[in-house]
Chains A and B, each alone.
Chain A
Amino acid sequence: METLASHAILLPIDNIDTDRIIPARFLITTKTKGLGRHFFSDWMHGSSALTDARVLVVGHNFGCGSSREHAVWALADFGIEAVVSTGFADIFHANALRNGLIPVVVGPEDHEKLVTELETSPEQEVVIDFASRRLSCGSIEAGFTAAIDTVRIEDRETPGGEELDALLRQADLIGRHEAGRQPRVDTRKDL
Chain B
Amino acid sequence: MTDPGTTLFDRIWDDHRVNAAPAPDGGPDTLYIDLHLIHEVTSPQAFSILRERGLGLRRPGQTVATMDHSIPSTPPGPDGRYVIEDPDAEVQLAALARNCDEFGVPLFPMGHENQGIVHVTAPELGLVQPGMTIVCGDSHTATHGAFGALAFGIGTSQVAHVFATQCLLAHRPRTFEIRIDGALQPGVTAKDVILSVIAGIGTEAGTGHVFEYTGTTIRAMSMEERMTVTNMSIEGGATAGLIQPDDTTFDYLAGRQYAPRGAAFDDAVARWRRLATDESAAYHRSVEIDARRVEPMITYGTNPGMGMAVHEPVPDPAALTNASDRRSAQRALEYMRIEPGKPLLGHPVEVVFVGSCTNSRLSDLRDAARILEGRKVSDTVRMLVVPGSQRTKRAAEDEGLDTIFKTAGAEWREPGCSMCLAMNGDRLEPGQLSVSTSNRNFEGRQGPSGRTILASPLTAAACAVTGVITDVRELL
Contacts and interface: CB of A to CB of B under 8 A. Distances in A.
Interface string B433-458: 00000001011110011000000000
Contacts of A31: 44-45
Contacts of B42: 67-69
A99 B49 CA distance: 14
Contact of B442 (A28, A65, A187): A65
B127 to A, nearest CB: 5
Contacts of A163: 157, 161, 169
A161 to B, nearest CB: 8
Contacts of A155: 157
A14 B34 contact: no
B164 A99 contact: no
A47 interface: no
Given A12-B327, A164-B164, A183-B62, A65 B129 contact: no
Interface stretch (B88-96, B377-385, B462-470): B88-96
Contact of B32 (A95, A112, A171, A177): A177
B442 A19 contact: yes
A25 B423 contact: yes
A185 B34 contact: yes
B61 A186 contact: yes
A163 B105 CA distance: 23
B237 interface: yes
A89 B152 CA distance: 14
A13 B331 contact: yes
Nearest to A155: B157
A19 B439 CA distance: 13
Interface stretch (A56-64, A74-82, A123-131, A136-144): A56-64
Contacts of A190: 257
B92 A187 contact: no
Given A163-B169, A167-B164, A87 B204 contact: yes
B422 interface: yes
A89 B49 contact: no
A90 B129 contact: no
Nearest to B207: A90
B325 interface: yes
A43 B444 CA distance: 9
Contact of A30 (B19, B45, B64, B158): B45
B248 interface: no
Given A14-B325, A64-B303, A112-B324, A174 B207 contact: no
Nearest to B209: A90
B167 A184 contact: no
B328 interface: yes
Contact of A69 (B156, B204, B327): B156
B41 interface: yes
Contact of B49 (A64, A159, A173, A178): A159
B64, B131, B237 — which one has the most chain A CB atoms within 10 A of its CB?
B237
B239 interface: yes
B431 to A, nearest CB: 13
A61 B203 contact: yes
Nearest to A27: B41
A183 B325 contact: no
A50 interface: no
A67 B45 contact: no
A72 B444 CA distance: 19
B59 interface: yes
Contacts of B234: 65
Contact of B328 (A14, A67, A164): A14
Interface string B298-317: 00000101000000000000
Interface in A1-44: 12-15, 17, 19-20, 23-25, 27-32, 42-43
B328 A27 contact: no
B88 A19 contact: no
A170 interface: yes
A185 B132 CA distance: 9
The interface centre, meaning the residue of B45, B64, B127, B448 with most chain A CB atoms within 10 A of its CB, is B45
A29 B88 contact: yes
A125 B449 CA distance: 33
Contacts of A72: 155
Contact of B207 (A89, A95, A98): A89
A177 B30 CA distance: 11
B164 A91 contact: no
Interface in A152-191: 155, 158-160, 163-164, 166-168, 170-171, 173-174, 177-178, 183-191
A61 B154 CA distance: 18
Contacts of A98: 155, 157-158
B70 interface: yes
Nearest to A68: B42
Contacts of A102: none
23 contacts: A19-B443, A28-B86, A28-B89, A31-B44, A69-B42, A70-B156, A87-B207, A89-B204, A158-B53, A160-B49, A160-B161, A163-B169, A164-B157, A167-B168, A174-B32, A183-B62, A184-B35, A184-B131, A186-B258, A187-B62, A187-B63, A187-B64, A191-B106
Interface of B: 18-19, 30, 32, 34-35, 41-42, 44-45, 48-49, 52-53, 55, 58-64, 69-70, 86, 88-89, 91-92, 95, 104-106, 127, 129, 131-132, 137-139, 153-158, 160-161, 164-169, 173, 203-204, 207-208, 234, 237, 239, 257-258, 303, 305, 323-325, 327-328, 331, 421-423, 440, 442-445, 448-449
Q: Which 10 A-B pairs have the closest CB atoms?
A: A160-B157, A30-B44, A67-B153, A69-B155, A95-B155, A61-B204, A187-B64, A67-B139, A28-B88, A14-B328
Given A61-B204, A69-B137, 6 more contacts: A67-B42, A91-B154, A159-B45, A177-B32, A184-B129, A188-B61
